Every structure is written in C-alpha cells, then in structure tokens.
Amino acid sequence: MRKTVVIAGGVLALAVGVVGGSYYVGGKIEDDFRTGVERIRGAGFDVRVLDYRRGVFGAEAETLWTLPSEEEPLSFTLAHAVSHGPLPAGKAAEIRTTLQLDDEASQALAPLLQGRQPLEILSKVSWGGDHSHTLNVVDYRGPVEESEVVWGGMQGTVDVTAGGKVTRGSLSLPVLTVRDPAGKNVDLQKASITFDTTQPQNYHFWTGEALFAIERLAVGGTPEQTVEIEGLGLTSSTALEGDLVSTTIEIKANHFSGGGEVLQAPGVTLSLQRLDAGVLDAASRMAQEGAAAGEDIQAHNQRLLTAMISQLPALLARSPVVEIKNLGATLPEGVVKADLRLAYVGKPGGLGFNPLVDVEGQANLALPQPLLERVLSVRARQELENYMEVMDLGASEEEIADAVDETVRTRVEALTAQGVLVPKDGQWVSALEYKGGVLSINGNQTALGALGAMGLPL
C-alpha cells in the first residue's frame, strides 16, 4: 500500500502545482508556455518541457514533473492539448491537461482509476493574459491492497491574473476514509482550502488570506486510541505596509478529544508584527531557489538558518513583536484563557542582543482551580514514580496518593503565598510583566527563577 499512497500523493501534489502555476499568459502561447514552466521551477517544482508541437489552430505539448520521495524521485508526464484559434470559445486559448502515467504507476493506481483519467485540468486564457483553471481528480471507493478506501476525489478552481501576481481559488476534498486491518484508520470529512493572494512588486513572498477547513477528522483504532477534531479552521493573513510585514495565523475548532482529554472550542491566534520585508524576501527567495535546484533538505535548512542568523540585526532593528492571543479551551473543570506578548526594544547600534534587557513581555493566565490541581497532581506523580524507580524504592498506591496530594498542596500554597496566583471567581489568575530585566507578577517584583523553583508547570 505504501507505494500506492506515495504515487497517489504525488498526483495530488502535482495537481496543486499545475493549477497554481502561471503556464499560459496571453500573447505568444508557446513562449508564454515555456516562460510559465520556468516560473513554476522558480517556485520549487522540478518541471521541464519535453516537447511542444505547434499547429495552425492548436498545439500539443508534454512536460515532465519530478517529485521527491523518501525512496526515489517520482516522475510524471503531463500532456497538454492547446487550442488557440481563431476563436476558441471567446478566449485566446484553451488547454486541456491530463496525466500520463508510466507502467509502474499505471499498475499501482489501476484499482483506483478503473480506466478513468486520474487528473484533468481545463485552463482558459483571456486575451488580456488572465487565466483560469478547473481541476478534477477522480473519486474511488474500494480496496487498496489490504485496506478499504473511500476517496471522494478533489475539485478546484484557480484564477490567476496576467503576470501571475494575483491568485484566487479553492480546492475541496469531500471525503477520505481508510480502514486498515492494523487499526490505523482515518476518517476525513469535507476538507477545503480557499485563498486570495498577491505577490507584491519586487518581492518573492505572498500577501493575502488563506483558509483551511475540515468538518471532521478522526485518526486511530479503538475509541481509546482515536484522536478526533470537529470544525477545524486555520486562517492565515499576511499584509505588507511600506517595508514591514505582519502575519496572523488563527487556529480554532469546535471540539477536540484524544489522550483522555475532551476540549470544547479550543483555539489560538499567533501574530507576528513589524517583520522586515527585505529579510522575509531573502528567506523566500532562498527557499524557492533551493527547492528548484533539488537541494538536500537538511543542507537547505542549515543554509537557510545560517542566512537568517546573519540577517538577525536587520530583523531586530525593526522592533518585531510576537503575540499569542485567545489561547484557550473549555475543559470539564471550566474555561482556560491565556495570552502572551513579546517585543524587542533594543536600540540599533548597541552592544549586541541582550535578552535580559532588550526584550519586554506581558502574559495573562486564567484557569480553573481544579484544573491546576489536576495538572500539578500528574506532574507530581510522574516525578515521584521516576524517583522511586531510580532509587529502587517501593510504596503502596495509598502512600503514593498521599505523597502526591501533599506535594500539590505545598506547591499551591507556595504559588499563592508568593502572589503568583490569585483566586478570582473560582479560578486562579496571574498577570506577568517583564521589562528592563525585572519580572513582576500581579504587580509584585519576583526573581526570574521563582516560577520553576515553586513547581509551576510551565
């Protein structure tokens, strides 16, 4: 099944790459076709034109795509039937793209395809150079080696302006279920991606918004082993103002269960503000160049990290800000809420980065009292059991429970006595501020190591 899944995954990656690329941009169709291929290579795909045969009213072309995999690269050939005149449905051109599988891939995917085209894309090019794409990946229901699979296919539309600087579209996957004899089951319902993005002039990164949503996802075997998420949504928004970039990522769900925990309305928002556009552009350009060249992933990550470290002074000079907001969920004990803000306030031309004085931060926490006791109890039991194992000691369950209760009581008393936690409406609340090398908790200055020393589960 592994080989089939790898090939099928490659087909999907290929589909996304094609609809996202600027293949066909007005004017001379062949020239723009080849230019579009080079643009896709620059975005990190290994693709080249095998053949382009131009006729009077149309053309036929083939492109070779090579996708990385853990074992060996996978290669696919796309066939493109181009109709460009004299009046192809009121458009400058229409292109029908289909996937041509080699013998190995055809054999592996034969049970899924049942004689159908695995991938079909219809592209239309306007006289002004704008182009739209409609994507369809076939559905399938039946066995795949030892598993039973229901795959609802994938559909999508993508609209791209002339020059490829504005892209809008959506992709949807109605259903995917896998029933594995080993109990590794997957149940995915109604997944979708929508996006509206723009590449700013003279930059390699993209701004705009994207939304990824899943109605339901369950992974696991028995009910005790299953992790389930309902109503999952991930929204990403990036904006450029002058030469500063801000990015916000919001994650939320209606329900989560797994590992013995049940959470209602979990969520978090991550915000990165005042990022230097030049630094972000350099990182984006380097990532695209490395992917297009097929660079080893570890070597690429190391080179990117080294480059980013060298750009750190330029990044810090813009006084970046990191915020974590609306971190929380409803648990059986009640509602948990937290937020955090970190800002760089160092002065350009200083003696280097000093986190003790160059960073300011604020954090707020509110959690139900029974929840804190449960968390501290779990930690105290783990510490005690580890100690007993190392020291080869024995104790009854009653003795362990008494010791854990005493540890929890002592730590809660220490936290409240030091003013780290303040009771309010059945919850423990805490407000922390770090500024100028001084930590204040609920308005009282506190030593930096006090939280860890008191056993607060950070």
- Interval 128-148: pLDDT, tens: 778 899 999 989 888 877 888
Helix (H) or strand (E) holding 454: none
Q: Which residue has the tokens 């607060």?
A: 456
Note whether residue 143 is domain-resident. yes
Residues 78 and 193 placed together within one structural domain of the fold: no
Residues 96 and 238 placed together within one structural domain of the fold: no
Contact 14, 47 (CB under 8 A): no
Angle at CA 173, nearest 5°, toward 168 and 179? 160
Confidence of residue 27 (pLDDT cuts 50, 70, 90): very low
Residues 216 and 315 placed together within one structural domain of the fold: yes
Note whether residue 123 is domain-resident. yes
Note whether residue 157 is domain-resident. yes
**Cα separation values, 24 from 13, 37, 162, Å:** 20, 9, 9
Confidence of residue 293 (pLDDT cuts 50, 70, 90): low
Residues 310 and 398 placed together within one structural domain of the fold: no
The residue with greater pLDDT, 384 or 115, is 384
d(CA 48, CA 178): 35
The contacts of residue 28 (CB under 8 Å, 6+ apart) are: none
Q: Among 319, 353, 370, where does a domain finish?
A: 319
Report the share of the chain in percent with pLDDT over 90: 45
d(CA 323, CA 339): 8
**What does the pLDDT read at residue 351?**
57
240-244 long-range contacts, CB within 8 A, separation 24+? 240/200, 240/203, 240/207, 240/277, 243/276, 243/277, 243/278, 244/274, 244/275, 244/276, 244/277, 244/318
Residues 128 and 190 placed together within one structural domain of the fold: no
Contact 338, 323 (CB under 8 A): no
Helix (H) or strand (E) holding 336: strand 334-344
Show the tokens assigned to 174: 């109605």
Buried b (16+ CB within 10 A) or exposed e, 216-248: bbbbbeeeeeeebbbebeebbebebeeebbbbb
d(CA 135, CA 121): 5
Contact 248, 236 (CB under 8 A): yes
Q: Which residue has the tokens 């503000």?
A: 273
Residue 454 in this model has a pLDDT that exceeds 50? no
Residue 322 in this model has a pLDDT that exceeds 50? yes
d(CA 301, CA 323): 25
Note whether residue 326 is domain-resident. no
Region of residue 114 (left: phi > 0; alpha: psi -120 to 50; beta: else)? left
Q: Among 164, 198, 233, where does a domain finish?
A: 164
The residue with greater pLDDT, 239 or 146, is 239
Residues 287 and 366 placed together within one structural domain of the fold: no
Residue 3 in this model has a pLDDT that exceeds 70? no
**What does the pLDDT read at residue 20?**
45
Confidence of residue 249 (pLDDT cuts 50, 70, 90): very high
Note whether residue 63 is domain-resident. yes
Residues 302 and 201 placed together within one structural domain of the fold: yes
**What does the pLDDT read at residue 404?**
93
Q: What is the dihedral of CA 138, 144, 149, 155, to 10 degrees?
A: -20
Residues 311 and 351 placed together within one structural domain of the fold: no
d(CA 137, CA 98): 10
Residue 330 in this model has a pLDDT that exceeds 60? yes
Residues 204 and 154 placed together within one structural domain of the fold: no
The alpha carbons of the chain give a radius of gyration, in whole angstroms, of 28
Note whether residue 274 is domain-resident. yes
Expressed in angstroms, the distance from the first to the final Cα of the chain is: 42
Residues 201 and 160 placed together within one structural domain of the fold: no
Note whether residue 324 is domain-resident. no
**What does the pLDDT read at residue 367?**
94
Note whether residue 175 is domain-resident. no
**What does the pLDDT read at residue 113?**
76
When divided into structural domains, the chain yields a total of 3
Residues 194 and 315 placed together within one structural domain of the fold: yes
Measured in residues, the chain has a length of 458
Residue 456 in this model has a pLDDT that exceeds 80? no
Range of the domain at 149: 1-164
Residues 360 and 262 placed together within one structural domain of the fold: no
**Cα separation values, 443 from 268, 364, 426, 434, Å:** 26, 12, 21, 11
Confidence of residue 392 (pLDDT cuts 50, 70, 90): confident
Q: For residue 55, how many other CB atoms are within 10 A of its CB?
A: 10
Confidence of residue 23 (pLDDT cuts 50, 70, 90): very low
> Per residue in 39-85, pLDDT tens?
676 555 678 888 888 777 778 889 888 776 656 667 778 898 888 76
- At residue 87, the 3 state secondary structure works out as coil
Residue 89 in this model has a pLDDT that exceeds 70? no
Most confident of 88-92, 118-122, 221-225, 352-356: 118-122
Mean pLDDT (whole number) for 413-425: 88
